Each structure stands twice: as C-alpha cells, then as structure tokens.
Amino acid sequence: MKSRPHSKVRRRFHHPSLRLLFLFLPEIFSSVGGSSVQEVIGAVGESVTFTTSVPVSGTISYKGGTVGLVLNKQSETDQNERFMNRLDWVSQSGFFTLSHLRTDDSGLYTVLSIKEPKGRQDYQLEVYERVSAPQVKNTDSSPSELCSFLCSVRNVRGLKLDLYEDDVLLNHTSSSNTSDTTLNLHLEIKKTDDHRRRTFSCVASNRVSTEKTTIDITHYCSLNPGLNTDVESDVEVLGSRAMFITVVCAVMSVIVVCLWKRNGNESSSGECCVLSGCKRY
C-alpha cells in the first residue's frame, strides 16, 4: 500500500468481540437520539472531510453500516471493499476523509466518537460531476429575419443551463433526468446591427462547478438579412448616377469653353469638339 500524506494509523483489530461491538455502535447510539444532518458537497475525483473529531475511539458508518473504526487511536478503514484505499482517519485531527469521490458515494454518513470528546454527527454527502463547457451551433436552415442557434452541454446531475444577453437572463433550463445525454437551450433573435454591440453567453453550472461560453453572434448569424444585396444595388445605382453626372458636366464644360473662345475671338483657327463632332471657326 502506498504511503499517503495524512498522518494516520492503520491496524487490524484482532479481538473479535471488540470488532463486533464497534460494528453495532451506530445502531446502538441511534436509539439515543440523533443530531441534525449536515450537508456535504463533493466533486467527482476530489475528497471530503467529515469534521467531527474521533480522537481516541469511534466509528464512521455509511447508510447504517460501519465502514471505519478507531479504537485507542488505532484505525481500521479498509474493512469495506467499497471504500478500500479511499477512506482515511487522520490522527492529528481525528477526522475521517473520503477521497477519489464517485457519484455513488452520495448518501448518509454518521461519525460517532465514544470517548472524550464524545459526539455524533450525521452527514448527507452529495457528489456531483463537474460540468463541461457549453457548445454552440447555428440552426438556421434558410435565410430569414431571425438568427437561430442552440446551446448544448453534456448532462450531469444538478445541471442548469442559462442564456444571457449581457447580464440579462434570456432563457434557462435545468436537468430533471440524468438519463438524457445532453441538455439543450434554443434561442432566436432578430438580425439587427444592434446585436453586434451586445454580448451573448451560455452558462452551464451545478453545485460544484460553472462553465461559460461566450457567443460571437457575427460568427453564427449573418446579420441584417438582404443587406449585402441592397447595398450592392444601391452602389450600382449610385455609380450609374455619378457616371451620368460626370459625363454631363464634362460635355457642358466643353461647350462653355468653346462658346467663350468663339465669343472672345481668342483663336480664329481653334476648334471646339463637342458630341456632334468638331467644327472649325
């Protein structure tokens, strides 16, 4: 067995009567009256500590069955295969610690100290998987005035999925059935330039973690439907008008210059070229 960072003592109890007594201690003391249940939240793969000290002798039980013993500062915490190499008793603090948490570790634990200081505390452990970052995809099937997209995230226990515009909650959903593989949230917004200046985000969370995905609307939606076509048409019209005006101005300029020269007799042999041809005078 590999050494662990905790300072602890692990020895087997060889006296069968003592071991039998400790196995039934939780049941014996449960008839005396219980304490209020303290909730403990844990994440898969991490560890939790039950903060009721058993400095000399006592037990820890899971769903009514003893899974760890301490007698005269000697511990036996590998007696249950379910918690093998995961349940520790730390001699300095007298606390029990459960590591490498799994979702099926959730349930009621009872820590009992039978020597000074005596005490009993019930703990309801709830173990959650950490959430993953939401994925975003566009669901537009054809050009329209609406931009449609979908936020999706792998479903885990206690999952919530929220959709925000800036800091305003637009839509939300939560997981009621972990048999579903994903949790989805759909959103439609009108395609306007105003949305370019806003920040959209999908937020997945549960009691042990939060993940946020920021949505670049311009990446998923072509804003201002028909805008490019309209702009191209406008440009063509404006270009045609500008060319027409330029030609008219040029012709008028030539005519004005020719008339000025003729009236001023500045050149007897000059020629003025206009659209109808060239004339000499």
The residue segments making up the domain with residue 87 are 38-128
* Closest listed residue to residue 26, CA positions, set 125, 124, 114: 114
* Same domain membership, residue 98 and residue 149: no
Question: How far apart are alpha carbons 159 and 129 in whole angstroms?
Answer: 9
186-204 pLDDT, tens digit per residue, is 988 877 766 667 788 999 9
Q: Give the CATH number for residue 183.
A: 2.60.40.10
* Same domain membership, residue 144 and residue 111: no
**With bands split at pLDDT 50, 70 and 90, how would you rate the model's confidence at 63?**
very high
Sequence letter at residue 22: F
161-186 pLDDT, tens digit per residue, is 999 998 899 999 998 877 778 999 99
- Structurally, how many domains does the chain consist of? 2
* Same domain membership, residue 92 and residue 70: yes
Which of these three, 165, 190, 220, is where a domain ends?
220
**Contact by Cβ (8 Å): 169, 201:** no
State the pLDDT at residue 238: 55
Q: Is residue 105 part of a domain?
A: yes
**With bands split at pLDDT 50, 70 and 90, how would you rate the model's confidence at 143?**
low
On the CB side of 149, CA atoms within 13 Å amount to: 22
Residue 260 phi/psi, 5° resolution?
-65, -40
* Same domain membership, residue 119 and residue 44: yes
* Same domain membership, residue 195 and residue 120: no
Q: Is residue 255 part of a domain?
A: no
Q: Is the dihedral of CA 135, 141, 142, 147 positive or negative?
A: negative
Which of these three, 100, 128, 156, is where a domain ends?
128
| Its pTM surpasses 0.75 | no
**With bands split at pLDDT 50, 70 and 90, how would you rate the model's confidence at 275?**
very low
